[in-house]
Amino acid sequence: MSTDDSDADERGPPTVLAVDDDEDLADTYAIWLRDDYDVRTAYNGESALEAIDGDVDVVLLDRRMPDMSGGDVLERIRDAGHDVRVSMLTAVEPDVDIVDMGFDEYLVKPVTREDVIDVVERLLARADYDDDVQEYFAVSEKVATLETELSPEERGESEEYQRLTDRKADLEDDVDAALSEMGDFEDAFREIEG
């Protein structure tokens, strides 16, 4: 991880885009974050896509919106090649349908101020990792999410869950050396497993 501090200083604080069709919630996230971040809000999928650009570092994305689902917004963000970390922040309980979604974290509402601040901090901390390490964090997040939501029987019967755990095992071999070189493998692993 190498970040040029002078570039970071010139650019200003990281930018967070809060997307939720519940305007009060999106505005609340902005209030919680505005002391430390440049925060943009969007109240539907189209306005979210208009608001995202190369300056956005983190997106907090509601999954269920009337005009365009958060999943569709996420897919369009990834298809456009935006290098941004995304946390789904939603009332939709996760199921195996999350396996192929390109998010980095998944939080189920209601969330606290600390939840929102913590997820933004975690995602920003990972922003400089290489693609394999970022994929490892995202896959590990999905595995942990599904382990809390699905029974052992459901996990055992799910091909999607098995595919996800296989991918996590493959990635562990690839990223173990990279994380060890960074000197924070244990902290990073505890963050994922915690």
Average pLDDT over residues 138-144: 90
Consecutive H or E run containing 25: helix 23-33
Dihedral, CA of residue 12, residue 132, residue 167 and residue 17, to nearest 10:
10
The predicted model scores a pTM of 0.77
Q: For 144-190, what is each residue's pLDDT tens digit?
A: 989 988 899 999 999 999 999 999 988 887 777 666 665 554 455 55
Question: Are the beta carbons of 167 and 175 closer than 8 angstroms?
Answer: no
Q: What is d(CA 67, CA 159) in angstroms, rounded to the nearest whole number?
A: 31
Tallying the residues shown for the chain, one arrives at: 194
Domain ranges of the chain: 1-128, 130-194
CB atoms within 10 A of CB 103: 25
Q: For 84-133, what is each residue's pLDDT tens digit?
A: 999 999 888 888 888 888 899 999 999 999 999 999 999 998 887 778 88
Question: Are the beta carbons of 47 and 67 closer than 8 angstroms?
Answer: no
Q: What is d(CA 124, CA 130) in angstroms, rounded to the nearest whole number?
A: 13
Edge-to-edge strand list for the sheet holding 15-19: 38-42, 15-19, 56-61, 85-90, 105-108
Confidence of residue 80 (pLDDT cuts 50, 70, 90): very high
Please give the CATH number for the structural domain made up of 1-128. 3.40.50.2300
Looking at residue 172, what is its pLDDT?
Answer: 85
Looking at residue 190, what is its pLDDT?
Answer: 53
